[in-house]
Structure 1
Amino acid sequence: MTAARANTGIRRAPVQRRSRERVQRILDAASELIVEDGLTALSTRTIAERARVPVASLYQYFADKDEILLALVKRDTAEMDAAVDAAVGALSTVSVRTMVAATMRAFLTIYHQRPAFVVIWWRGRSNQVVYDFCRAHNKRIAADLFAFAQAMGMAQDGTVQGVVELAVEVGDRVFQLAFEHDLRGDELVIAEGIELVIGYLERHATPAGIAGVSVQGQDGPA
């Protein structure tokens, strides 16, 4: 898989509604097969058969299986971003505790809706392009949350973005452990993991960041 293709995810962006619907069918078919049979058994032929499209049509949009996986991950992480924005934006008072809990629970909602992501990311990290994309996505989440915390006066002076990046990576590892054997996730691991991240970040929070800050008139993370 070339670097140029990896950057786009989709080989040829669909313009017409019929083409967009076909791409959606391909992605949905791949998702179903990943959950049913895992990544090893997945192929462009099995995806095309499930989507009821000719293999040649699939190749108009995706060069290979890896591009389909990347497109799935991009779709799912976009939904995660929207869910986090909505969850944090709904808070009337934000603290380290409420922000971490809202963010991680928002991710959990999408993981339940998109179980193929769980299989791709936490059970099959051998795909370097997907790995690089998800690590970059984690860094962007951390940057957005750090900027928001700074703007709200929640971060102690001298706190650097790397602190939040580490917290995001720890949260990512928590979810990996929680979903290792169960596509619904182990609630004990998730709940304890949320407390773990909260405890770490509160060490770097201002008193207001711990007690809570009104967010009326404030925008949530970008």
Structure 2
Amino acid sequence: MAQIEKNEVVEADRTAVARPASMARKQPMQQRARERLDKILSSASDLIARTGSDRLKMGELAERVGISIGSLYQYFPDKSAIIRSLAERYNLESRVCISNALDTVHDVEGLKSAYLDLIDQYYALFLSEPVMRDVWSGMQADKQLMALDLQESRLCATMLADAMKRAFGDIDRAEVEASALLIWQLGESTMRLAISLDRVEGDAMVEAFKRMTMRELLSMQAEC
């Protein structure tokens, strides 16, 4: 699949996710407005990384960006909308990573290689954007954002399930989807734990996750 086609598929998946009520109000069209939106989200990310999502204050964010609180509210009605927008950005980046890794899988050996490589790429993404852990924590405090997070996990798990089905062939789809969703949820939790530890221990957690989940994948191969 060409890169532009992958991006179109990922974008379609992104827009398919149900939107909770709390979201960005202003969709900027002009370059200056887009730059301001990017500055708001970048500043919010910095503040969340420093103090955590629960301590993010709209007034402090407006001051950091250099705009009035009223101008900030033109873009985002509340803190949940900011966390949602940050999550959507990271989710889109994650989905592109998953799509690139799994789209070419057609056999078991290809699945094993692509899966292990995907875990390494995903871990590198979390290491480069540790604020992803704090954004996730902020989503767990809001029921609508929790639902969004689960839908995102299902989308990612479906990509993994599709690759597993192509690799294993004649296997129960429901079983594959259940395993894929569990693997994905455990993987996200592992990444958030790993970046909370020192690098040596974090690396060990990721390697342990690889061994555990590879055993699950191979056990499914044995059932075919």
Which TM-score bucket, shorter chain as reference?
0.7 to 0.9
- Confirm or deny: 8 A CA contact 1:70 1:130 kept in the other structure: yes
Q: Tell me the equivalent position of 1:116.
A: 131
The counterpart of 2:50, out of the listed 36, 39, 55, is: 36
CA distance in 2, matches of 1:8, 1:206: 46
Q: Read off the aligned partner of 1:102 and give its amino acid letter.
A: D
How many residues in Structure 1 have an aligned counterpart in Structure 2? 204
Q: Read off the aligned partner of 1:48 and give its amino acid letter.
A: A
1:167 counterpart = 2:183: yes
CA distance in 2, matches of 1:155, 1:135: 27
Q: Deviations over 1:61-81 (max 9, x none)?
A: 110011000100001110111
Q: Tell me the equivalent position of 1:70.
A: 84
Residue correspondence of structure 1 range 1-222 to structure 2 within 5 A? 6=20, 9-88=23-102, 95-122=110-137, 125-150=140-165, 152-160=166-174, 161-181=177-197, 186-205=202-221
TM-score (norm: length of structure 2) = 0.79
Structure with the larger helix share: 2
Q: Tell me the equivalent position of 1:214.
A: none
CA distance in 1, matches of 2:80, 2:88: 12
TM-score (norm: length of structure 1) = 0.79
C-alpha displacement at 1:18, in angstroms?
A: 1.1
Secondary structure (helix, strand or coil) at the match of 2:48 reads helix
CA distance in 2, matches of 1:5, 1:123: 17
CA distance in 1, matches of 2:117, 2:219: 19
Q: Give the gaps of 5 or more residues in structure 2.
A: 1-17
CA distance in 2, matches of 1:175, 1:122: 13
CA distance in 2, matches of 1:96, 1:80: 18
Secondary structure (helix, strand or coil) at the match of 2:54 reads coil
Q: Deviations over 1:87-145 (max 9, x none)?
A: 34588975342232122222222212222111121587323233221211111111122
Q: Tell me the equivalent position of 2:14.
A: none
CA distance in 1, matches of 2:122, 2:129: 10
Q: Give the gaps of 5 or more residues in structure 1.
A: 210-222
- Confirm or deny: 8 A CA contact 1:156 1:204 kept in the other structure: no
More displaced 10-residue stretch of structure 1: 98-107 or 123-132: 123-132
Secondary structure (helix, strand or coil) at the match of 2:55 reads coil
The sequence identity of aligned pairs, in percent, is 21
- Confirm or deny: 8 A CA contact 2:126 2:191 kept in the other structure: no
C-alpha displacement at 1:57, in angstroms?
A: 1.4
- Give the direction of change, closer, same or farther, for the CA distance of 1:197–1:155 in structure 2 (3 Å limit): farther
Q: Read off the aligned partner of 2:85 and give its amino acid letter.
A: A
CA distance in 2, matches of 1:140, 1:157: 20
Q: Tell me the equivalent position of 1:217.
A: none
Q: Tell me the equivalent position of 1:220.
A: none
- Confirm or deny: 8 A CA contact 2:24 2:76 kept in the other structure: yes
